[in-house]
């Protein structure tokens, strides 16, 4: 069994090898954000002002959607404090760039910074980790879903990526809003309601058809892009008892120009080691990780990660395996026998009755 270490342990080993500037905020990231704002507003004006053919409207929708996603990646960085340090400005800019994804800065910092980052891949405490077999066994609806054929589940799982971010974010709002102090709750509510009011209000100005191209289709596209990354960040990794980013996170590789467009969001393991560092410097962190722990680091092309997601079931079994309950087959996770180039399931050893007794 490999020894697990916290993200702080890894960070302390790497920090001395990084330049001092890597620990400073990078406000120049906002120039990219400004460019996206310009593209989004121009696209919206073009759709609502001119009577464009369908194909052109769809093309502009695609551009707006990809910009929405990129703005979300920037919002994520901003709310980690890596762009500006002043709290009010950080929250304001975070709100602006998360506006399209309808997620407020207070909610995001609680859900993502204070919970996901602190309890990554903890079966009970990470709000973003996937289901375990015990949880599925306890729910009749989930048991029914997981009896569907594997390929049907994979198809719907991929289709659902086009709305899962918004759905999950809304769910997180209703879970976490209760945990804020009463005097802060109104602000959390406003940050949830205001984006919806503006987006739905926009429908009355531009008409339903234009609104579909201006907001709804871009939102679905943005969801798909953002979830394309989020679903590969941890879901092929095991659930762990120590928050060890090398064990519980995956960095995907994408062409360089995509890293530029997406603010290096592909460097997710690096991000979990240094969440308050600008992603601009993650290539330097990657170099150090690969030098020090080449066998522990998980990295694969984005396309391979998506294929591996398609080909493995989404229920954790004993923390480091994935199980398809309909066939009683188990698959390894990263670091535990998952070879993404040749995914081979094997028959589960224990009988289902033993599991029930354990649960
Ligand atoms: Zn993560
Ligand atoms: Zn983060």
- Ligand nearest to C-alpha 243: 1
User: Ligand 1 centre from 56 Cα, in Å?
Assistant: 36
Predicted pLDDT at 349: 72
CA of 117 to the centre of ligand 2 (A): 7
> 200 alpha carbon to ligand 1 midpoint, in Å?
30
When divided into structural domains, the chain yields a total of 1
pLDDT of residue 1: 59
- 302 alpha carbon – ligand 2 mean position (Å): 19
Q: What pLDDT, on a 0 to 100 scale, did the predictor assign at position 341?
A: 82
Cα separations in angstroms, 88 against 95, 145, 177: 11, 44, 20
pLDDT at 308: 94
Helices (H), the chain: 7-14, 29-49, 54-79, 87-98, 105-108, 133-138, 140-145, 150-160, 164-176, 182-206, 208-211, 217-234, 245-248, 256-261, 268-273, 282-292, 302-311, 352-358
Residue 38 Cα to ligand 2 midpoint, Å, equals 25
In a domain, 356, yes or no: no
Which domain does 85 fall in, by range? 7-138+151-300
CA 161 / ligand 1 centre spacing (Å): 17
Q: What is the pLDDT of residue 344?
A: 81
Position 217 in a domain = yes
Q: Tens-of-pLDDT digits for all 359 residues of the chain?
A: 578 999 999 999 999 999 999 999 999 999 999 999 999 999 999 999 999 999 999 999 999 999 999 999 999 999 999 999 999 999 999 999 999 999 999 999 999 999 999 999 999 999 999 999 888 889 999 889 888 888 898 999 999 999 999 999 999 999 999 999 999 999 999 999 999 999 999 999 999 999 999 999 999 999 999 999 999 999 999 999 999 999 999 999 999 999 999 999 999 999 999 999 999 999 999 999 999 999 999 999 999 999 999 999 889 998 999 998 888 889 999 998 888 888 888 887 765 544 544 44
Residue 82: nearest ligand to its CA? Answer: 2
Quote the pTM value.
0.93
268 Cα to the center of ligand 2, angstroms: 8
Q: Does residue 145 sit within a domain?
A: no
Other Cβ atoms less than 10 A from the Cβ of 56: the count is 13
Q: Does any domain span residue 335?
A: no
Which ligand has the minimum distance to the alpha carbon of residue 282? Answer: 2
Residue 202 domain-assigned (yes or no): yes
Residue 354 lies in a domain: no
């Amino acid at each position: 069994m490999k020894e697990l270490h916290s993200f702080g342990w890894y960070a302390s080993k790497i920090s001395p090898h990084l330049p001092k500037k890597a620990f400073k905020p990078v406000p120049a990231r906002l120039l990219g954000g400004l460019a996206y704002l310009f593209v989004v507003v121009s696209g919206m004006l073009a759709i609502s002002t001119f009577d464009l053919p369908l194909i052109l409207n769809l093309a502009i929708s695609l551009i707006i959607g990809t910009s929405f996603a990129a703005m979300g990646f920037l919002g994520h960085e901003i709310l980690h404090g890596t762009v500006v340090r002043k709290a009010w400005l950080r929250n304001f800019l975070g709100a602006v760039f998360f506006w399209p994804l309808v997620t407020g800065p207070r909610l995001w910092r609680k859900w993502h910074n204070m919970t996901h980052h602190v309890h990554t891949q903890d079966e009970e405490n990470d709000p973003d980790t996937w289901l375990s077999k015990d949880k599925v066994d306890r729910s009749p609806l989930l048991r029914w879903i997981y009896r569907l054929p594997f390929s049907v589940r994979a198809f719907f799982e991929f289709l659902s990526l086009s709305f899962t971010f918004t759905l999950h974010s809304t769910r997180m709002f209703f879970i976490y809003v209760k945990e804020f102090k009463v005097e802060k709750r109104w602000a959390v509510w406003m940050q949830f309601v205001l984006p919806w009011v503006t987006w739905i209000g926009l429908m009355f100005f531009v008409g339903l058809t234009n609104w579909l191209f201006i907001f709804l289709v871009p939102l679905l596209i943005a969801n798909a892009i953002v979830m394309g990354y989020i679903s590969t960040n941890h879901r092929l990794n095991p659930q762990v008892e120590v928050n060890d980013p090398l064990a519980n996170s995956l960095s995907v590789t994408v062409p360089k120009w995509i890293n530029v467009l997406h603010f290096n969001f592909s460097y997710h393991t690096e991000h979990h080691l240094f969440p308050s560092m600008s992603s601009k410097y993650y290539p330097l962190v990657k170099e150090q990780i690969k030098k020090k722990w080449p066998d522990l680091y998980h990295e694969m092309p984005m396309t391979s990660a998506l294929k591996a997601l398609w080909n493995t079931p989404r229920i954790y079994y004993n923390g480091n395996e994935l199980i398809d309950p309909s066939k009683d087959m188990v698959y390894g996770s990263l670091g535990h026998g998952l070879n993404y180039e040749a995914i081979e399931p094997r028959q589960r050893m224990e009988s289902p009755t033993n599991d029930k007794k354990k649960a």
